[in-house]
Amino acid sequence: MADLLRANRREAIALAVLLALLTVYLVTHPRGMSTYVMTIWANQCLILALAAIAQFFAVIVRGIDLSVGAVMALTNTVASYVLAGSGIGLAGGVVLVLLVGLACGLVNGILVVYGRIQPIVVTLATASVFVGLALLLRPTPGGQINYDFADAMTLDVLGVPTALIITALVIFGFWMPLRRTGLGLGLYAIGSSEQAAFQSGIQVPVIRMASFALGGLFAGLAGLYFSFVTTTGDAGIAPNFTLNAIAAVVLGGVALRGGVGSLIGAVAGAFILKTIGALMFFSGLPPLAQPFVEGLILAAAIAIGGADILRVRNRLEVFGR
Protein backbone atom coordinates (compact mmCIF):
# COMPACT_ATOMS: atom_id res chain seq x y z
CA MET A 1 0.00 0.00 0.00
CA ALA A 2 2.83 2.37 0.91
CA ASP A 3 4.56 1.63 -2.40
CA LEU A 4 1.32 2.32 -4.28
CA LEU A 5 0.90 5.67 -2.56
CA ARG A 6 4.54 6.57 -3.21
CA ALA A 7 4.21 5.73 -6.89
CA ASN A 8 1.04 7.80 -7.19
CA ARG A 9 1.78 10.49 -4.63
CA ARG A 10 0.77 13.37 -6.89
CA GLU A 11 -2.68 11.92 -7.49
CA ALA A 12 -2.98 10.89 -3.82
CA ILE A 13 -2.27 14.45 -2.65
CA ALA A 14 -4.76 15.89 -5.15
CA LEU A 15 -7.47 13.43 -4.07
CA ALA A 16 -6.81 14.15 -0.37
CA VAL A 17 -7.12 17.90 -0.98
CA LEU A 18 -10.33 17.32 -2.95
CA LEU A 19 -11.83 15.21 -0.18
CA ALA A 20 -11.01 17.88 2.42
CA LEU A 21 -12.46 20.69 0.31
CA LEU A 22 -15.59 18.69 -0.52
CA THR A 23 -16.15 17.94 3.17
CA VAL A 24 -15.94 21.64 4.04
CA TYR A 25 -18.25 22.51 1.13
CA LEU A 26 -20.93 20.02 2.20
CA VAL A 27 -20.70 21.12 5.84
CA THR A 28 -21.09 24.80 4.93
CA HIS A 29 -23.80 24.31 2.30
CA PRO A 30 -27.28 25.17 3.65
CA ARG A 31 -28.76 21.96 2.19
CA GLY A 32 -25.91 19.69 3.26
CA MET A 33 -25.08 16.46 1.47
CA SER A 34 -28.25 16.05 -0.56
CA THR A 35 -28.59 14.51 -4.02
CA TYR A 36 -29.49 17.94 -5.40
CA VAL A 37 -26.34 19.59 -4.01
CA MET A 38 -24.07 16.76 -5.14
CA THR A 39 -25.62 16.74 -8.62
CA ILE A 40 -25.15 20.47 -9.21
CA TRP A 41 -21.57 20.24 -7.92
CA ALA A 42 -20.74 17.17 -10.00
CA ASN A 43 -22.17 18.66 -13.21
CA GLN A 44 -20.01 21.77 -12.95
CA CYS A 45 -16.95 19.71 -12.04
CA LEU A 46 -17.38 17.27 -14.93
CA ILE A 47 -17.43 20.01 -17.57
CA LEU A 48 -14.05 21.30 -16.41
CA ALA A 49 -12.75 17.76 -15.83
CA LEU A 50 -13.36 16.84 -19.48
CA ALA A 51 -11.62 20.05 -20.57
CA ALA A 52 -8.71 19.22 -18.23
CA ILE A 53 -8.45 15.73 -19.76
CA ALA A 54 -8.21 17.37 -23.19
CA GLN A 55 -5.38 19.55 -21.89
CA PHE A 56 -3.74 16.55 -20.22
CA PHE A 57 -3.24 14.76 -23.54
CA ALA A 58 -1.34 17.77 -24.90
CA VAL A 59 0.71 18.38 -21.76
CA ILE A 60 1.75 14.76 -21.26
CA VAL A 61 3.66 14.88 -24.59
CA ARG A 62 5.33 18.21 -23.73
CA GLY A 63 2.80 20.38 -25.47
CA ILE A 64 0.07 22.81 -24.51
CA ASP A 65 -3.32 23.24 -26.12
CA LEU A 66 -4.71 26.78 -26.15
CA SER A 67 -7.64 25.68 -28.31
CA VAL A 68 -9.43 23.54 -25.69
CA GLY A 69 -11.96 26.24 -24.84
CA ALA A 70 -12.39 27.12 -28.52
CA VAL A 71 -13.19 23.48 -29.43
CA MET A 72 -15.67 23.45 -26.56
CA ALA A 73 -17.32 26.58 -27.93
CA LEU A 74 -17.52 25.16 -31.45
CA THR A 75 -18.92 21.78 -30.39
CA ASN A 76 -21.35 23.46 -28.00
CA THR A 77 -22.75 25.63 -30.79
CA VAL A 78 -22.94 22.66 -33.16
CA ALA A 79 -24.80 20.72 -30.46
CA SER A 80 -27.34 23.53 -30.15
CA TYR A 81 -28.37 22.81 -33.77
CA VAL A 82 -28.24 19.01 -33.92
CA LEU A 83 -29.45 17.84 -30.48
CA ALA A 84 -33.01 19.20 -30.52
CA GLY A 85 -34.50 16.07 -32.09
CA SER A 86 -35.03 12.57 -30.76
CA GLY A 87 -34.22 8.92 -31.45
CA ILE A 88 -31.74 8.15 -34.21
CA GLY A 89 -31.43 11.83 -35.09
CA LEU A 90 -30.35 12.61 -31.55
CA ALA A 91 -27.77 9.80 -31.53
CA GLY A 92 -26.45 10.99 -34.88
CA GLY A 93 -26.18 14.50 -33.49
CA VAL A 94 -24.04 13.31 -30.58
CA VAL A 95 -21.74 11.46 -32.98
CA LEU A 96 -21.48 14.55 -35.19
CA VAL A 97 -20.53 16.77 -32.24
CA LEU A 98 -17.81 14.35 -31.15
CA LEU A 99 -16.51 14.06 -34.71
CA VAL A 100 -16.20 17.85 -34.87
CA GLY A 101 -14.10 17.79 -31.69
CA LEU A 102 -11.98 14.93 -33.03
CA ALA A 103 -11.46 16.77 -36.34
CA CYS A 104 -10.30 19.90 -34.50
CA GLY A 105 -7.79 17.82 -32.55
CA LEU A 106 -6.53 16.17 -35.74
CA VAL A 107 -6.04 19.56 -37.39
CA ASN A 108 -3.91 20.61 -34.41
CA GLY A 109 -1.95 17.34 -34.56
CA ILE A 110 -1.28 17.58 -38.29
CA LEU A 111 0.00 21.14 -37.99
CA VAL A 112 2.22 20.26 -35.02
CA VAL A 113 3.64 17.04 -36.46
CA TYR A 114 3.92 17.78 -40.15
CA GLY A 115 4.12 21.56 -39.99
CA ARG A 116 6.82 21.27 -37.29
CA ILE A 117 5.33 24.22 -35.43
CA GLN A 118 5.28 24.54 -31.65
CA PRO A 119 1.93 23.39 -30.16
CA ILE A 120 1.38 26.68 -28.33
CA VAL A 121 1.62 28.60 -31.64
CA VAL A 122 -0.56 26.15 -33.57
CA THR A 123 -3.31 25.98 -30.99
CA LEU A 124 -3.33 29.75 -30.46
CA ALA A 125 -3.98 30.15 -34.20
CA THR A 126 -6.54 27.36 -34.51
CA ALA A 127 -8.36 28.63 -31.41
CA SER A 128 -9.14 31.85 -33.28
CA VAL A 129 -10.44 29.84 -36.24
CA PHE A 130 -12.62 27.57 -34.08
CA VAL A 131 -14.08 30.49 -32.12
CA GLY A 132 -14.74 32.30 -35.39
CA LEU A 133 -16.69 29.30 -36.69
CA ALA A 134 -18.61 29.11 -33.40
CA LEU A 135 -19.54 32.79 -33.69
CA LEU A 136 -20.73 32.24 -37.26
CA LEU A 137 -23.01 29.49 -35.99
CA ARG A 138 -24.20 31.35 -32.89
CA PRO A 139 -23.51 35.12 -32.91
CA THR A 140 -25.62 35.25 -29.75
CA PRO A 141 -26.38 32.44 -27.27
CA GLY A 142 -29.35 30.34 -28.31
CA GLY A 143 -30.54 27.08 -29.79
CA GLN A 144 -32.06 24.14 -27.99
CA ILE A 145 -31.09 20.72 -26.63
CA ASN A 146 -33.55 17.86 -26.12
CA TYR A 147 -34.60 18.42 -22.50
CA ASP A 148 -35.30 14.77 -21.69
CA PHE A 149 -31.88 13.74 -22.96
CA ALA A 150 -30.21 16.62 -21.12
CA ASP A 151 -31.99 15.66 -17.90
CA ALA A 152 -30.90 12.03 -18.26
CA MET A 153 -27.28 13.14 -18.58
CA THR A 154 -27.28 15.74 -15.80
CA LEU A 155 -29.55 14.42 -13.02
CA ASP A 156 -28.96 11.21 -11.04
CA VAL A 157 -29.34 7.44 -11.12
CA LEU A 158 -30.67 6.01 -7.83
CA GLY A 159 -29.31 9.04 -5.97
CA VAL A 160 -25.89 8.97 -7.61
CA PRO A 161 -25.20 12.00 -9.86
CA THR A 162 -24.92 10.93 -13.50
CA ALA A 163 -21.84 13.16 -13.80
CA LEU A 164 -20.00 11.04 -11.22
CA ILE A 165 -20.99 7.86 -13.08
CA ILE A 166 -19.59 9.34 -16.31
CA THR A 167 -16.40 10.33 -14.46
CA ALA A 168 -15.99 6.76 -13.21
CA LEU A 169 -16.57 5.37 -16.71
CA VAL A 170 -13.91 7.68 -18.17
CA ILE A 171 -11.37 6.67 -15.52
CA PHE A 172 -12.03 2.93 -15.24
CA GLY A 173 -13.47 2.23 -18.68
CA PHE A 174 -11.11 4.39 -20.72
CA TRP A 175 -8.00 5.55 -18.88
CA MET A 176 -7.07 2.41 -16.92
CA PRO A 177 -7.04 0.19 -20.03
CA LEU A 178 -5.43 2.89 -22.22
CA ARG A 179 -2.44 3.54 -19.97
CA ARG A 180 -1.35 -0.10 -20.35
CA THR A 181 -1.51 -0.05 -24.16
CA GLY A 182 1.26 0.90 -26.57
CA LEU A 183 -0.43 4.28 -27.05
CA GLY A 184 -0.58 4.98 -23.33
CA LEU A 185 3.04 3.98 -22.76
CA GLY A 186 4.07 5.94 -25.85
CA LEU A 187 2.50 9.14 -24.51
CA TYR A 188 4.66 8.94 -21.38
CA ALA A 189 7.76 7.93 -23.34
CA ILE A 190 7.50 10.96 -25.63
CA GLY A 191 6.83 13.25 -22.69
CA SER A 192 9.88 11.93 -20.86
CA SER A 193 12.24 12.04 -23.83
CA GLU A 194 11.16 12.27 -27.45
CA GLN A 195 14.61 11.25 -28.71
CA ALA A 196 14.76 8.19 -26.47
CA ALA A 197 11.21 7.25 -27.51
CA PHE A 198 12.19 7.46 -31.18
CA GLN A 199 15.31 5.34 -30.62
CA SER A 200 13.16 2.76 -28.85
CA GLY A 201 11.11 2.30 -32.01
CA ILE A 202 8.06 4.26 -30.91
CA GLN A 203 6.19 5.92 -33.78
CA VAL A 204 6.55 9.44 -32.36
CA PRO A 205 4.54 11.28 -35.07
CA VAL A 206 1.64 8.83 -34.79
CA ILE A 207 1.53 9.00 -30.98
CA ARG A 208 1.75 12.79 -30.98
CA MET A 209 -1.05 13.00 -33.55
CA ALA A 210 -3.14 10.63 -31.42
CA SER A 211 -2.55 12.77 -28.32
CA PHE A 212 -3.95 15.88 -30.01
CA ALA A 213 -6.80 13.88 -31.54
CA LEU A 214 -7.75 12.58 -28.08
CA GLY A 215 -7.50 16.12 -26.76
CA GLY A 216 -9.92 17.32 -29.42
CA LEU A 217 -12.29 14.44 -28.68
CA PHE A 218 -12.41 15.23 -24.96
CA ALA A 219 -12.76 18.96 -25.61
CA GLY A 220 -15.72 17.98 -27.79
CA LEU A 221 -17.11 15.89 -24.92
CA ALA A 222 -16.71 18.91 -22.62
CA GLY A 223 -18.61 21.09 -25.09
CA LEU A 224 -21.28 18.41 -25.41
CA TYR A 225 -21.74 18.13 -21.65
CA PHE A 226 -21.83 21.90 -21.33
CA SER A 227 -24.72 21.74 -23.81
CA PHE A 228 -26.56 19.24 -21.60
CA VAL A 229 -26.14 21.46 -18.53
CA THR A 230 -27.13 24.76 -20.17
CA THR A 231 -29.40 23.39 -22.99
CA THR A 232 -28.17 26.21 -25.27
CA GLY A 233 -25.21 27.08 -27.47
CA ASP A 234 -22.79 29.87 -26.54
CA ALA A 235 -19.71 30.81 -28.56
CA GLY A 236 -18.31 32.95 -25.75
CA ILE A 237 -17.25 30.19 -23.35
CA ALA A 238 -13.74 29.63 -24.75
CA PRO A 239 -11.35 31.85 -22.71
CA ASN A 240 -12.51 30.72 -19.28
CA PHE A 241 -12.17 27.02 -19.91
CA THR A 242 -8.77 27.17 -21.61
CA LEU A 243 -7.07 28.83 -18.64
CA ASN A 244 -8.94 26.74 -16.08
CA ALA A 245 -8.01 23.52 -17.87
CA ILE A 246 -4.30 24.38 -17.67
CA ALA A 247 -4.60 25.24 -13.98
CA ALA A 248 -6.53 22.03 -13.31
CA VAL A 249 -3.87 19.73 -14.75
CA VAL A 250 -1.19 21.49 -12.68
CA LEU A 251 -3.27 21.25 -9.50
CA GLY A 252 -3.72 17.55 -10.26
CA GLY A 253 0.02 16.93 -10.31
CA VAL A 254 0.54 16.81 -14.08
CA ALA A 255 3.93 18.35 -14.88
CA LEU A 256 3.94 20.95 -17.66
CA ARG A 257 7.35 19.59 -18.73
CA GLY A 258 5.58 16.40 -19.87
CA GLY A 259 5.82 12.72 -19.03
CA VAL A 260 4.59 13.03 -15.42
CA GLY A 261 1.08 12.82 -14.01
CA SER A 262 -2.11 11.04 -14.97
CA LEU A 263 -5.62 11.60 -16.22
CA ILE A 264 -6.89 10.89 -12.70
CA GLY A 265 -4.83 13.80 -11.39
CA ALA A 266 -6.19 16.10 -14.10
CA VAL A 267 -9.74 15.16 -13.14
CA ALA A 268 -8.99 15.68 -9.44
CA GLY A 269 -7.47 19.09 -10.20
CA ALA A 270 -10.60 20.14 -12.07
CA PHE A 271 -12.82 19.00 -9.20
CA ILE A 272 -10.59 20.90 -6.75
CA LEU A 273 -10.82 24.10 -8.78
CA LYS A 274 -14.60 23.94 -9.06
CA THR A 275 -15.00 23.06 -5.37
CA ILE A 276 -12.92 26.10 -4.39
CA GLY A 277 -15.22 28.25 -6.54
CA ALA A 278 -18.29 26.73 -4.90
CA LEU A 279 -16.81 27.32 -1.43
CA MET A 280 -16.20 30.98 -2.20
CA PHE A 281 -19.86 31.36 -3.18
CA PHE A 282 -20.96 30.27 0.31
CA SER A 283 -18.08 31.89 2.20
CA GLY A 284 -19.62 35.35 2.32
CA LEU A 285 -16.87 36.73 0.08
CA PRO A 286 -18.17 39.77 -1.88
CA PRO A 287 -19.18 38.70 -5.41
CA LEU A 288 -16.84 41.26 -6.99
CA ALA A 289 -13.88 39.82 -5.06
CA GLN A 290 -14.47 36.22 -6.16
CA PRO A 291 -12.96 36.58 -9.66
CA PHE A 292 -9.90 38.19 -8.05
CA VAL A 293 -9.40 35.25 -5.68
CA GLU A 294 -10.01 32.72 -8.47
CA GLY A 295 -7.45 34.58 -10.59
CA LEU A 296 -4.88 34.34 -7.80
CA ILE A 297 -5.48 30.60 -7.51
CA LEU A 298 -5.13 30.11 -11.27
CA ALA A 299 -1.97 32.24 -11.40
CA ALA A 300 -0.45 30.33 -8.47
CA ALA A 301 -1.24 26.96 -10.05
CA ILE A 302 0.28 27.90 -13.40
CA ALA A 303 3.30 29.49 -11.65
CA ILE A 304 3.92 26.20 -9.82
CA GLY A 305 3.85 24.36 -13.14
CA GLY A 306 6.21 26.90 -14.69
CA ALA A 307 8.61 26.67 -11.76
CA ASP A 308 8.68 22.90 -12.20
CA ILE A 309 9.83 23.33 -15.80
CA LEU A 310 12.51 25.84 -14.78
CA ARG A 311 13.86 23.49 -12.10
CA VAL A 312 14.27 20.72 -14.65
CA ARG A 313 15.97 23.03 -17.15
CA ASN A 314 18.38 24.33 -14.53
CA ARG A 315 19.23 20.79 -13.51
CA LEU A 316 19.95 19.87 -17.12
CA GLU A 317 22.17 22.93 -17.48
CA VAL A 318 24.17 21.83 -14.45
CA PHE A 319 24.58 18.32 -15.88
CA GLY A 320 25.56 19.86 -19.22
CA ARG A 321 28.51 21.56 -17.60
Tens digits of per-residue pLDDT, 53-100?
999 999 999 889 999 999 999 999 999 999 987 778 888 999 999 999
- What's the rounded mean pLDDT across residues 305-321? 47
- What's the rounded mean pLDDT across residues 255-267? 86
Q: How far apart are CA 162 and CA 149, in angstroms?
A: 12
What's the pLDDT at 25? 85
Provide, rounded to the nearest whole percent, the portion of the chain with pLDDT above 70. 86
Tens digits of per-residue pLDDT, 14-32?
888 888 888 888 888 877 7
* Mean pLDDT score of the chain: 86
- The alpha helices in the chain, defined as continuous H runs, are 2-7, 9-28, 35-59, 68-82, 87-113, 119-137, 147-154, 162-168, 176-178, 182-192, 194-199, 204-230, 238-251, 263-282, 290-320
Query: Which domains can be identified in the chain, with CATH numbers?
Result: 45-320 (1.10.3470)
Tens digits of per-residue pLDDT, 112-162?
999 989 999 999 999 999 999 999 999 999 888 989 999 999 998 988 999
- What's the rounded mean pLDDT across residues 237-247? 88
Note if the pTM is more than 0.75.
Answer: yes
